[in-house]
Chains A and B, each alone.
Chain A
Amino acid sequence: MFNNLATAAGDIFTPLVIIYIIAGVLIGYIVGALPGMNRTTAIAVAMPFTFTMSPAAALSFLIGINKGGAAGAAVSAILLNVPGEPSAVVTTYDGYPMTRAGKAQKALKIALLASVAGDVFATIVLILLARPIARFAIGLGPIELAAILLFSITFIAAVSGESFLKAMIAGFLGLLLSAPGVDIETALPRMTFGFIQLYDGVPLLAVAIGTLALSEILVQIDAGWRGEYRYPRPPDDSGSEADRRLNFAEFVKISPAVLRGSLVGTWIGLLPGLGATLASFLAYTWVRRSSKNPETFGKGNPNGVAASESADNATVPAALIPVFAIGVPGSLSTALLMGAFMMHGLTPGPFLFKDSGDVVYAIYLGMILASVALLGVGIFGQRIFSLVVQIRESVILPVIVFLCVVGAYMESGGMFSVYLMLIFGFVGYFMKKFDYSFVTFVVGYVLGPMAELTLRQSLILSKSNPAVLLGHPIAILFLLLAVFSIWRFAIAGARSMQMERPTSEQDKKTQPETEEKT
């Protein structure tokens, strides 16, 4: 191992490679920060440029884009309430309220630190435990995954929003969106209305950009019309010195949330297909549930930002675990990275360590360097990006709309997604206006297709005989947790139905602040 490391260090610690890595992180960070753009596209576009690089430099560069992208998505989420990717939705919950309270700089710093911490944590797990963990992960078949997904859905739903009924409606709307497509068993089109573009399901990125990013623009335009905003907007970063800085005591305060986020992110990241969105939702929910004052979440609690961002970034290296160890990618961006491995003559999987150990260690070092670069890029980047909040809305809003359109177009390479994005922009606008839960909606449509696939696979495998579960203890565990979640959900639901009016009135009056004082 140390021999490998020495050779690897020789490959990586050259000025050119270091510049590549910094460039990769920078590209990712900028792309992530732009709503509508995403890191997967950035990796695909950047890949041909890596042909001339050494394998280690190329992979570190591409992984750098991935890492930068995961962290960058927090920027627009915090500053503009516009999540660039579904996984940054959760960051808006507490990030944007912090910006409104003049703590944009602090929120950005927390997000960055949490991102880097989650990233480093998962990278270390990757380096030390890749092989055994990947073996374990691959052993989890559809039955376990279905149980984990069921649990996740109920767990996240249990903390959503103020209105139980509206949360349910939004959740089912989300699930409904995951219904169109070619049926996985019969191969017949289902609810596609004759659109061939819907054969693989509703393009999720278009829905995400529409409901998350475009709808926020519509809300802001609406507010502008009603004269609720002074024009031009006063700088939101007007807080005192203490509001901008992040001192050590505060850092200590958020560290449990970061640790939880990193754990959840690593765990979810290494399971095939679950993805960063689920990770950030789960981490947020977990941190909020275990908090002494859960009511402060959603109103500018730094722990919320920390949990979501650390989980989001931890999934990036974690998703590489199955790629390195067994050659099975867990997400779209890692599938792309795996493609890059192959273009450079590396075979991901069991032989990777044996055949190209030097390169693997060089990539490890490159990944660690990328984390360091992320910290640097983030610190300088957010100073520049935080100026965004001072730009007149008449300038920034059209730019975001433009990016939304481009982003939707690039996902599927056609106008269909753009129209869909526009429609869902209005759907999202009305959901915001009438206070429907975005959490259950996003969870519904992101996890819906996966939940359906694994559930139906489980039914086929078990021949619909529940006794099969006895052979799957992990599945039983998660199903029990799901039952527990539903029980809690029902109680919380019943309670919120009773007290709906008074609580929501109060909430509107007690804006942010609360967390800092406690």
Chain B
Amino acid sequence: MTNYSQMTVFGHRFAMAIIGAAALALSIVAPAAQAAEWPTEPITIVVAYPAGGGTDSAIRAMTNILSEKLGQSILVKNVGGAGGGVAAAQVLKAKADGYTLLATNSTSLTLAPLVQKMPYKMSDFVNIAILGEFQNAMFANKDKPFNTLDELVAIAKKENREITFASQLAIDRLLMQYIAKERGFKLRSLPVSGGNGSVQAVLAGDVDLSFSGGSWAPIVAAGDAKALFAASYNRLKLAPNLVSMKDLGFPFGVTSHISLHAPAGTPNDVIKKLAAAFGPAVAGKIAQNVGEKRYMDMTFQGPEAADATMKKERETYEKILKVVPDAK
């Protein structure tokens, strides 16, 4: 900082004023000066889920290329909890200098603050990139006597029973309550923990339907389960033959993405540099491998495209919440 020995000569107040002015000057000058040679420190990516999950393995698969492109080491820190909420709250407290990033499921920013009390809002973050899209779908045990949503609804109505549903996240609860309202059936949800919980509930035959962001694909491929429909409005990129919400006649569908954010106020140049490094990292072989195996569509979207995607996701959730206002 400034030369301290000189300050003692002047009065205390004057010294404070200098420090204040210096700090002010620094804060104005710093971003520009910083951006040119940024990054000069290791970059921490806070993954909002425990190690081993989809988001985590995707990020870890990118670290090699990232550190090569940015010339700094990349630290991955897993901060699980509250469906991504704990990590978001933590990153929000970090300096907006691009050295602390949040890798999360986009719904933790677009949906969670709408349905739960969260200590942050979507506008607290800037979007750096979308790194991939989860291939969300509904699936059922292979032995169930229905192959489509309509058949299931017909059976449930005929037998005058509720449709049982393994629910793990806000996004699937919202979607199913919306569908139930539109199609006029009663829902009974079985809370499960994580994608494995929903797979297990289906394999054990405990529920009619289950939602997952990719865990459904291998067991469907193995013939142990059947996919009923994609949760998104348009068809899924990795499962183009699966009917989507649009095909079923709904005006909405839900999506979730692996998204990358920084606290609001992060300089634009830094965001651009980051996005430029993440592009090739997403396209890299290991990340694509992970995407293929985990059933995530690893397609990169830069800052502007990410803004649009996040905005659209948010609007969809707001619209659905109007239909089912007390959905949790």
Binding site for B on A (CB under 8 A): 40-41, 43-44, 47-48, 51, 138-142, 182, 184-189, 196-197, 199-200, 272, 326-329, 332, 335-336, 338-339, 341-351, 412-414, 453, 456-457, 460-461
Q: A352 — nearest CB in chain B belongs to which residue?
A: B218
- Most interface-central of A140, A351, A413 (chain B CB within 10 A): A413
Q: A345 — nearest CB in chain B belongs to which residue?
A: B289
B188 partner residues in chain A, CB cutoff 8 A: 460
A187 partner residues in chain B, CB cutoff 8 A: 115-116, 170, 173, 328
Q: Decide: B81 and A327 in contact? CB cutoff 8 A.
A: no
Complex: how many Å from CA A350 to CA B224? Answer: 10
Cβ contacts A to B, 8 pairs, < 8 Å: A41-B51, A51-B61, A141-B204, A197-B86, A347-B218, A414-B79, A457-B190, A457-B206
Complex: how many Å from CA A460 to CA B80? Answer: 28
Q: Verify if B28 is at the interface (C-beta below 8 Å from A).
A: no
A414 partner residues in chain B, CB cutoff 8 A: 79, 86, 90
Q: Decide: A40 and B219 in contact? CB cutoff 8 A.
A: no
Complex: how many Å from CA A355 to CA B190? Answer: 34
Q: Verify if B77 is at the interface (C-beta below 8 Å from A).
A: yes
Q: Decide: B50 and A347 in contact? CB cutoff 8 A.
A: no
Q: Decide: A272 and B196 in contact? CB cutoff 8 A.
A: yes
- Tell me which of B90, B117, B189, B219 contacts A326 (CB under 8 A): B219
User: Closest CB-CB distance, B10 to chain A, in whole Å?
Assistant: 38
Q: A184-B191, A187-B170, A413-B79 are in contact. Are A335 and B86 (CB under 8 A)?
A: no
A182 partner residues in chain B, CB cutoff 8 A: 82
Binding site for A on B (CB under 8 A): 46, 50-53, 56-57, 60-61, 63-64, 77-83, 85-87, 89-90, 115-119, 164, 170, 173, 188-193, 196, 199-201, 203-206, 218-219, 221-222, 224, 286, 289-290, 293-294, 328
- Tell me which of B52, B86, B203, B286 contacts A199 (CB under 8 A): B86
User: Closest CB-CB distance, A450 to chain B, in whole Å?
Assistant: 9
Q: Decide: B224 and A196 in contact? CB cutoff 8 A.
A: no
- Most interface-central of A184, A187, A189, A197 (chain B CB within 10 A): A187
Complex: how many Å from CA A187 to CA B219? Answer: 28
B116 partner residues in chain A, CB cutoff 8 A: 187
B63 partner residues in chain A, CB cutoff 8 A: 48
User: Closest CB-CB distance, B20 to chain A, in whole Å?
Assistant: 30
Q: A48-B63, A199-B85 are in contact. Are A413 and B52 (CB under 8 A)?
A: no
Q: Decide: B51 and A336 in contact? CB cutoff 8 A.
A: yes
B200 partner residues in chain A, CB cutoff 8 A: 138, 141, 272, 328
Complex: how many Å from CA A326 to CA B219? Answer: 8
Q: Decide: B196 and A329 in contact? CB cutoff 8 A.
A: yes
- Tell me which of B81, B218, B219 contacts A197 (CB under 8 A): B81
9 shortest A-B CB distances, which residue pairs?
A: A199-B82, A342-B293, A44-B51, A184-B191, A336-B52, A350-B222, A413-B79, A141-B204, A335-B52
Complex: how many Å from CA A351 to CA B293? Answer: 12
B206 partner residues in chain A, CB cutoff 8 A: 141-142, 457, 461
Q: Decide: B224 and A48 in contact? CB cutoff 8 A.
A: no
User: Closest CB-CB distance, A452 to chain B, in whole Å?
Assistant: 10
A341 partner residues in chain B, CB cutoff 8 A: 293
Q: Decide: B53 and A453 in contact? CB cutoff 8 A.
A: no
Q: Can you add 15 more A-B contacts, CB < 8 Å, to A188-B328, A342-B293?
A: A48-B63, A48-B64, A141-B204, A142-B206, A196-B82, A197-B82, A272-B196, A328-B203, A329-B52, A343-B57, A343-B286, A347-B293, A351-B222, A412-B80, A413-B87
Q: A139 — nearest CB in chain B belongs to which residue?
A: B204
Q: Decide: B78 and A44 in contact? CB cutoff 8 A.
A: yes
A139 partner residues in chain B, CB cutoff 8 A: 203-204
Q: Decide: A461 and B328 in contact? CB cutoff 8 A.
A: no
Q: Decide: A199 and B81 in contact? CB cutoff 8 A.
A: yes
A327 partner residues in chain B, CB cutoff 8 A: 218-219
User: Closest CB-CB distance, A12 to chain B, in whole Å?
Assistant: 22
Q: Decide: A460 and B190 in contact? CB cutoff 8 A.
A: yes
Complex: how many Å from CA A142 to CA B203? Answer: 12
Q: Decide: A48 and B86 in contact? CB cutoff 8 A.
A: no
A339 partner residues in chain B, CB cutoff 8 A: 51-53, 56-57, 60
Q: Decide: A200 and B81 in contact? CB cutoff 8 A.
A: yes
User: Closest CB-CB distance, A282 to chain B, in whole Å?
Assistant: 22
Complex: how many Å from CA A346 to CA B116? Answer: 37
Q: Decide: B90 and A413 in contact? CB cutoff 8 A.
A: yes
Q: Decide: B290 and A343 in contact? CB cutoff 8 A.
A: yes
A184 partner residues in chain B, CB cutoff 8 A: 191, 193
Complex: how many Å from CA A188 to CA B170? Answer: 11
A199 partner residues in chain B, CB cutoff 8 A: 81-83, 85-86
Q: A335 — nearest CB in chain B belongs to which residue?
A: B52
User: Closest CB-CB distance, B56 to chain A, in whole Å?
Assistant: 7
A413 partner residues in chain B, CB cutoff 8 A: 46, 77-79, 87, 90
